[in-house]
Structure 1
Amino acid sequence: MIAISVVDEQTIPAVLRAAAARFGDHPAYVEGDRTVTYAELLALVERTAEVLISSGACCEDRVVVWGPNSIDWAVAALAVTYAGAVLVPVNSRYVGAEVADVVERTQAPLVVVQDGFLGRDQVGELHEAGVDPQRILPLDRLMDAAARAEGMSHEGTDPDDVADILFTSGTTGRSKGAMSAHRQSIGVARAWAELGGVRQDDRYLVVNPFFHSFGYKIGILVGLLTGATLYPMATFDLDETMRLIEDERITVLPGAPTIYQSLLAAPGREQRDLSSLRLAVTGAAVVPVVLIERMRAAAPEGLGIDQVVTAFGMTEAVVVTMAREGDPADLVASTCGRAIPGMETRILEPGEDGSGELLVRGEFVMLGYLDDPEATAEAIDEDGWLHTGDVGVLDGAGNLRITDRLKDMYISGGFNVYPAEVEQSLMRLEGLADVAVVGVPDERMGEVGKAFVVRADSPAGEALTADDVTTFAREHLANFKVPRQVEFTGALPRNLSGKVLKKDLR
C-alpha cells in the first residue's frame, strides 16, 4: 500500500489517488446490485476524464452536472476535477430554463445530464431553453464512452485552483455562484469527518443530494477521505431507506430533520431493525429537543442512534459550527454547536439579548462569487468576515443559536428557498398583478411557501385561481420552490419606500 501524506492531499485528484492506494478493494459505492471499489473508482474516473477532455472540457473549463444521486454522477463529478475542469452541480429538480441560465453564466462547454429522471425529458428541456445540442452530454453516453477509453494520468492541479462552483440564490432573486478551492472543499470535508468520527467500516446512506454541498463535500469527498462505503439514493423513499438500513447495516445517515421525523413516524418501523445506525448529523432548520431525544432513544420508542449532532453551514461556508459527541440533547437541539477547527464566529453589534448578525471567518469561507465582485465585497468585508444575513446568539462556550434571518430566505425540506426568485417567476403569469412569498411553518417540511397574490384588473385576473398559480410555478421552478399555499388579497402591505412588509404577511 502506498503511503501518501495528508499534506500532499490538497487537491481532489490527489485525494482520489490516495483513496485508491489506501482502500483498494474496499467498496466505495453500492447502488442496487452494483458495487465499485476504490481502486475501480479511480480507473473509472481516469477513463471518464479522458472522454470529457476529448469532448472539449478541461483546463479550468466549467462543466455542469445535472442529475440525481448515483454512482455515475459521482464518477462524472470526480472526472471533471480530474480533467482539470471546475465542477458546477445543479439541482436535479431544476427545469431546463434554470439549468440553461447556469450553463450560460458559467460559459460551460459541456452539461452532463441524466435524461429521463422522474419521467422528464431533460435533454429536450435544454434544447427548448436554447442550449446548443453540442454542449449536451447525456450521462449514459458519457459512461458508455468511458468504458471504451484507455484512461488518463492526472497532470496536476494546484490546491488554490477553483474546484467547484455551487449556485445559491440571493435576496435580489439572482443566483450567485460560490467558488471554492480544492484545499477548501477537501479541508471542510476532512474537518466534518473527523468531528463525526467517520471511518472505513462505516456504511453511509447518502440521501442528501450530490448537487448540494451536504451530499457532495460531506458525502463524496468524506468517502474518499475515510474509506467509508457510500450508498447513493436518487430520491428519498421511506420504505427503501428502512430496507437499506436494515439489509445493508447502514451506520451513517446525515440529513435534514424531516428525514428522521419521517422515519420515526413510518408505519411498520417497529418491525424493522435499524439498530446499525450510529451517527446522524442534522441541521438546516429548527430541531426540536424531543426529536433529538427520540433519535437517541432505543427502539421501539426511538431510532437508537448513538451519536446525534447538529451543524450550521451555508453554500458560502459549507460547515461553520458543529456539535460534538457527548453534547447533551438540549444543547444539540437548541444550538448548532461550536466553530469547527479553522473557522471562527462573531456576533456583529449584539443587542441586550446578545443577538445580532452572525459573521463567520476562516479557511472554508468561499473565494468569492463568480463574476460578481460587488456581491463578493458586500458579503465578505475587508477583515475577511462573511456576513451571513442570519441573526444569532453565541453562549459562553461559543455554541451558536440562530434566532432569525435578516434575509427573507426560508428552508423547505432542507433546501434554501429565496422568495424574490419565486416572485420574479410568478410575475410573468397572466392575470397576476402583484405577489409576495413568505415561508410558513409546516410539520413535515419545516417551512413551505405561501404566495399572497393580487389579481390584475382584467378578465384574466378575474379568472385567476390558486391552481393556476401553483401550476405555473411548477412549470418554471423546481418543485421545492413552488408555493404550497396561495391567498388572494386586494393589496400587499408596503412601507413608504414601497417595500413589502413581509412581517405583516407572516
Structure 2
Amino acid sequence: MGGLSTPAHTAPAAFRAAVERYADRIAVIAEDGGALSYTQLDALRMQAARALIACGIEAGDRVAIWAQNRVEWMVAGLAIHAVGAVLVPLNTRMKGDEAAYILGKSGARLLVCSGAWLAQDYPLLLDSKRPATLERLVVLDDSTAALRAADLRWDDFLSLAERIDASAVEARSAALTGESRLDILFTSGTTGLPKGVVTGHAQNLRVIADWSRAMSLSPADRYLVVNPFFHSFGYKVGWFGGLLSGCTVLPHAMFDAGAILRRIAEQRISVLPGPPTLFISLLDDPARAQADLSSLRATITGAAAIAPTLIERIRRELGFTTVLTGYGLTETCGVVALCDASDDAETIALTSGKAIPDIELRCVDAQGQALAPNQSGEIVVRGYNVMQAYLDDEAATREAVDEQGWLHTGDVGSLDERGYLRITDRLKDLYISGGFNCYPAEIERMLAAHPAIAQAAVIGIADARMGEVGKACIVLRPGFQLEASELIAWCREHMANYKVPRVIEFRASLPTNPGGKVMKFQLREDAVQGAQSAA
C-alpha cells in the first residue's frame, strides 16, 4: 500500500503532514548528489515562501517557474503553494515570444527561471519581450542578460526571508480551501494558442492519491523524475506525488539513456515513469547489458502507441514488476484512467485502463448519447478531476464542459465490457480514405508490432483519388533495415486495405513535445512542404 494517506485538502497541509511523518528521511537527491531530508526541504520551502511575501506576492497572485528539473523548482513550487499564490509552469523548450505569451496571459508577477542552461539563456530569451505585468525575475544561475533593478539571484531572493515572520506563511496556508486555485497549466499548444487550465487544491490531491495507490508508492521508493516538471506527469504525480508518499525524489534534468542507466544503478531507483520513447532508448542502449537494474519496481507509460511486446520487454529486460498505462489530460489534473498492476500485457498495451474512483467515463456519438461497448466515439469525462475553467475564457470553457458537467476531450475511443478505455485517436487526426474513417492511433498500434519498428506516427495526406491516404513516419530499431515496399506489403497482410499507409517515410526521430507526444502538426507541415517542393 502506498504511503499517501493524508486527508488534507490543500497542498501545504498535505506537504506538512508528509514532513511530520517522514521528518528525517531523505526527501530529495539532486543530480550532483546533494541530499535534503524532509525537515530540511521544509525549512527551504518556508524560507522561499517568506521571500515571496517579502517580494509583495499576495494570495491568488500568479508566480511562474521556467526551469529544468532541479531541486530549486521543487522548493519554489512548494513555496508558491504555501503562500496561496498560483503556480504557472513554463515549458523549457519555449522561446522568448512563447514564454512572454504565457507570462502575459497568466498575469504572472514573478518568474523563477534558470539562467544559461544548455543552448538557452532564459532571461536573455525573454529580455525585451517581458510583459508589463511581470515585475521581477528570480534567476537560479548565471545569465548573460542584463538583469533589471528588481531582479534577483536565487540566494539574494532567499535572503529576503529575514524580513517576514514564519507566521505570515502559516496564516496564508491556513486561509486556503480545497477550492482555492493551485495552478494554471497551459495546454501544449500543438493545436492553436495555449489555453490556461485552472485547477484547485483538493481535486489535485485526490488525483495524486489515486495515482499513488495504483503505483503502490511508499517511503521505500526512490523515484527518478525524468518527465519535465512543467507537465502534470513530472509535477503533480511526479515530484509532488512522490513527496506526499514519503519517497526519495531524484529530479533529472535531461534525458540521456546512459546517464539514467548509471543513476538507476548508483541510486537504486525503484520508480521510473516515462513515455514509450524513454524505455525504447533504455532497451536499445548498449550499456544496458552491464547496468544493474535490479532495484526497478514500478513504471507507468503512455502518450503513444504501444506494442504488447514492449510491455513484455519492459518487464522482462528492465525488471519492472508493476507496469501500467493510463490516460489523462491537463484539463483533468493529469489523470482519468489507469490500468491495474495485475492486468495482462495486452490490456496494458492496448488500453489506457479504467476510470479512477468517482470519475465517470463515456464514449458518445455526435448527439452526445452514450455508445455501447466497443463502439468508437468521443471520450467525455465527468467528476471531481475536471478543471475549474480555462483562464479568462468563458466561451472556451463552455465549449469544453457542457451543462451536465461532461468534459469533451476531443479524443476518440471505445470502452470494452470491463470499462477499459481504448484510445482510437484525436478527432482532428481522423482522416477519411475512400469513404472509410481512418484512425491513426489504431494503425500506429499495428505498425508497432513490426519487429523492425521502434516508433510510428501516421497522418492523413491529400490524394486526388481517395481524398486522403495515410502516410507513416517510421523510426527503425537500431540494426534493422526495411524497405518501404516491404513494409507496405506487411501492412497489407496485417490490416484492412483502407488502413494501409500509401506513403512511408523513414526518419531518424519523430518530433515530440516534452511530454513524449508526437507533434502531428509538424509532420503535416513537413508533408505539405514536401508536396509543394515536388510540384
TM-score by length of 2: 0.76
**Contact kept? 1:48, 1:142, Cα under 8 Å:** no
Aligned residue among 224, 233, 237 for 1:205: 224
Aligned counterpart, 1:339: 355
* CA distances 1:316-341 after superposition (whole Å, capped 9, x unpaired): 01111000011000110000011111
Aligned residue among 310, 317, 332 for 2:325: 310
**Contact kept? 1:258, 1:444, Cα under 8 Å:** no
- How many residue pairs get aligned? The number is 432
Aligned counterpart, 1:27: 26
Aligned-partner Cα distance in 1 for 2:13–2:476: 41
Aligned-partner Cα distance in 1 for 2:99–2:247: 32
Aligned counterpart, 1:367: 388
Structure 1 residue 440: Cα displacement = 5.5
Q: Measured at CA, do residues 347 and 82 of structure 1 come closer, stay the same or move farther in structure 2, by a change above 3 Å?
A: same
**Contact kept? 1:186, 1:221, Cα under 8 Å:** no
* CA distances 1:450-503 after superposition (whole Å, capped 9, x unpaired): xxxxxxxxxxxxxxxxxxxxxxx9xxxxx986947463334999xxxxxxxxxx
Q: How does 1:23-422 map to 2 (within 5 A)?
A: 23-31=22-30, 32-131=32-131, 134-140=135-141, 141-146=153-158, 149-150=161-162, 152=166, 153-155=169-171, 156=174, 157-169=176-188, 173-297=192-316, 302-317=317-332, 318-349=334-365, 350=371, 354-408=375-429
Structure 1 residue 357: Cα displacement = 0.5
Aligned-partner Cα distance in 2 for 1:43–1:440: 52
Aligned residue among 443, 453, 477 for 2:475: 443
**Contact kept? 2:221, 2:247, Cα under 8 Å:** yes
Aligned-partner Cα distance in 2 for 1:12–1:183: 8
**Contact kept? 1:45, 1:79, Cα under 8 Å:** yes
Structure 1 residue 439: Cα displacement = 9.2
* CA distances 1:398-455 after superposition (whole Å, capped 9, x unpaired): 000001210349999xxxx9x9xxxxxxxxxxxxxxxxxx99544389xxxxxxxxxx
Aligned-partner Cα distance in 1 for 2:338–2:205: 17
* CA distances 1:131-164 after superposition (whole Å, capped 9, x unpaired): 4574222135234432563462321211100000
| One-letter amino acid of the structure 1 residue matched with residue 122 of structure 2 | Q
Aligned counterpart, 2:496: none
Aligned-partner Cα distance in 2 for 1:265–1:46: 43
Kindly, what percent of the aligned residue pairs are identical?
43
* CA distances 1:165-215 after superposition (whole Å, capped 9, x unpaired): 000056761211111100011111111001110100100000001100001
SS of the aligned residue for 1:264 comes to helix
Aligned-partner Cα distance in 2 for 1:328–1:184: 30
Aligned-partner Cα distance in 2 for 1:288–1:144: 50
Aligned-partner Cα distance in 2 for 1:148–1:387: 45
Aligned counterpart, 1:462: none
Aligned-partner Cα distance in 1 for 2:195–2:534: 28
Q: Measured at CA, do residues 171 and 127 of structure 1 come closer, stay the same or move farther in structure 2, by a change above 3 Å?
A: closer
SS of the aligned residue for 1:166 comes to strand
Which deviates further from its counterpart, 129-138 or 67-76? 129-138
Aligned-partner Cα distance in 1 for 2:385–2:5: 21
Q: Measured at CA, do residues 364 and 127 of structure 1 come closer, stay the same or move farther in structure 2, by a change above 3 Å?
A: same
**Contact kept? 1:261, 1:444, Cα under 8 Å:** no
Aligned counterpart, 1:458: none
SS of the aligned residue for 2:205 comes to helix
| One-letter amino acid of the structure 1 residue matched with residue 216 of structure 2 | G
Aligned-partner Cα distance in 2 for 1:5–1:321: 20
| One-letter amino acid of the structure 1 residue matched with residue 312 of structure 2 | E
Q: Measured at CA, do residues 231 and 440 of structure 1 come closer, stay the same or move farther in structure 2, by a change above 3 Å?
A: farther
SS of the aligned residue for 1:280 comes to strand
**Contact kept? 1:48, 1:143, Cα under 8 Å:** no
**Contact kept? 2:6, 2:17, Cα under 8 Å:** no
| One-letter amino acid of the structure 2 residue matched with residue 290 of structure 1 | T
Aligned-partner Cα distance in 1 for 2:518–2:424: 23
Structure 1 residue 361: Cα displacement = 1.1
Aligned-residue CA RMSD (Å): 3.0
Aligned counterpart, 1:466: none
Aligned-partner Cα distance in 1 for 2:115–2:190: 31
Aligned-partner Cα distance in 2 for 1:363–1:149: 36
**Contact kept? 2:258, 2:287, Cα under 8 Å:** no
| One-letter amino acid of the structure 1 residue matched with residue 301 of structure 2 | T
**Contact kept? 1:342, 1:364, Cα under 8 Å:** no
SS of the aligned residue for 1:326 comes to coil
Aligned-partner Cα distance in 1 for 2:181–2:403: 21
Q: Measured at CA, do residues 5 and 336 of structure 1 come closer, stay the same or move farther in structure 2, by a change above 3 Å?
A: closer
5+ long unaligned stretches in structure 1: 420-437, 446-472, 474-478, 494-506
Which deviates further from its counterpart, 58-67 or 127-136? 127-136
Structure 1 residue 122: Cα displacement = 1.1
**Contact kept? 2:208, 2:236, Cα under 8 Å:** yes
| One-letter amino acid of the structure 2 residue matched with residue 333 of structure 1 | A
Which deviates further from its counterpart, 344-353 or 398-407? 344-353
5+ long unaligned stretches in structure 2: 142-152, 366-370, 431-439, 445-456, 460-469, 478-510, 512-516
Aligned-partner Cα distance in 2 for 1:197–1:142: 35
Q: Measured at CA, do residues 381 and 148 of structure 1 come closer, stay the same or move farther in structure 2, by a change above 3 Å?
A: closer
* CA distances 1:41-85 after superposition (whole Å, capped 9, x unpaired): 111011101111222222100111101000001101111111110
**Contact kept? 2:373, 2:416, Cα under 8 Å:** no
**Contact kept? 1:15, 1:224, Cα under 8 Å:** no
Which deviates further from its counterpart, 163-172 or 247-256? 163-172
* CA distances 1:246-292 after superposition (whole Å, capped 9, x unpaired): 11110000010001111110012111111111101001111111100
| One-letter amino acid of the structure 1 residue matched with residue 218 of structure 2 | R
* CA distances 1:339-365 after superposition (whole Å, capped 9, x unpaired): 111212101023895111111111111
| Alignment partner of 1:489 is 2:531 | yes
**Contact kept? 1:51, 1:142, Cα under 8 Å:** no
